[in-house]
Amino acid sequence: MWSRRGVLAGLIGAPVLLVAACNDTKSVAPGTGGTGAGGTGGTGDSTGQPTPSATSTPKISAAVITVTPADGTTAAGFSDPVRVAVAGGTLTTVKVTDSAGKALAGKLSDDGTVWTSATSPASGTKYTVAAVAVDKDKLEADANAVFTTATPANTFVGYFTPEDGSVVGVGMPVSINFSKPVTDRKTVQQAITVIAEPGVEIVGHWFSSTRLDFRPQEYWATGTRVTLQLRLKDVQGAKGVYGTQSKDVHFTIGRAQTSVADLAAKRLTVTTDGQVSAVYAISGGSPEFRTWGGRMVITEQYQQTRMNSQTVGLGSEYDIPDVPHAQRLSTSGTFIHGNYWAPASTFGNQNTSHGCVGLRDVKGGQDAGADGYKFFKSSIIGDVVEVVNSGDKTVVPSNGLNGWNMDWADWKAGSAV
């Protein structure tokens, strides 16, 4: 029989055994830790609890990665490339992507310590950077950064001709008019490329700080496919003024048609694909208002338009609201157009106009047999009309798309590259 004292002793002893059991669950295996014989781990502190073993401390890579622009930048510059550098190691992976997932290409230095983007980041764009490096012990370090580039406050665009997808004549240059003056012509011209298939040398010429034209030495060949590549986005055209465009424009050269307006003979001879296709009687500028001489490119076509002498500085000389079949040859107001108000005997016999070249036509322009109608229908933007024997000087090359009146050496001298 148990005595009361024995029962009490049993009750007191039980908790001791339970505590001992709990302590047993935290002990380390013999030979791998603890303070017992053969132990190699940490020793107990003043509370009796074990301290961390030196071998359990995690190792940290010595490589330190720096991203420029820094993480969190909200108005980063866009004129300099993105740069990722590492100290105490070498880079193994660098990926820079914009918000659309498009990667920014780059190149790693020979020693593997610096990655630099091949181009500068685009303005007004969010970028994410993920980089990994290893130190000499092959321990990895990584860095992640997000930054957004600034949006320029002052911008410019280039208004181009001809239009994308158009079919044009053999004399059509590529002409770009900038919305603001360009002071760094070389940088801007280098950001614009004109490519022809089949290939031919194409050179740019600056007529002013706001106009840059491109053309080959001779007229384009029929069927040539031309591509204008505008890469003006974030290009600094002037101090603090940046371009916004990045696009391609494609056009094709149609059949070859050129015309010669001989104002002494008062005849317009049209040649299409090497063969004379038509000869029309014409009337050019009178002795008081002679027609410009030289090669002029058709830049605009109107089935019918109003012509008012006040718009060209000739006062109240004329105001004709319905001039048929008008095709512009110069910015200053030279047209080749249908004429219904002059007697039929004028054409081929007299030069009576205020500087334009006229062909016989009818009011309303609906007579398909009229010379004005036929010539208009046979023409396209980019065809060349050369005026000879007008008695006036050659048109200024910048007056319209008339750079063909400049020899090749002078044209190339106007290039900035």
Closest by CA to 185, choosing from 156, 153, 217, is 156
- 């992976």: which residue's tokens? 93
Q: 68, 57, 66, 64: which is closest to 135 by C-alpha? A: 64
Pair 167, 254: CB distance under 8 Å:
yes
Q: Which residue has the tokens 């030069």?
A: 351
- How far, in whole angstroms, is CA 245 from its chain's centroid? 4
* Residues labelled as active-site residues: 337, 356
What contacts 5, CB < 8 A, 6 or more positions away? none
Burial 210-245, CB ≥16 within 10 A → b, else e: bbbbbbbeebbeeebebebebbbbbbbbbeebbbbb
Assess whether the previous peptide bond of 30 is cis (omega < 30° from 0).
Answer: no
Separation CA 30–CA 378 (nearest Å): 103
Going by the DSSP 8-state scheme, the letter that residue 413 receives in this structure is: H
What is the residue whose two structure tokens read 């900035």? 416
Element (H, E) at 306: strand 300-308
CB atoms within 10 A of CB 138: 9
SS3 category, 377 = helix
Amino acid at position 334, single letter: T
Q: How far apart are CA 106 and CA 361, in angstroms?
A: 64
Helix (H/G/I), strand (E/B), else coil: 328: strand
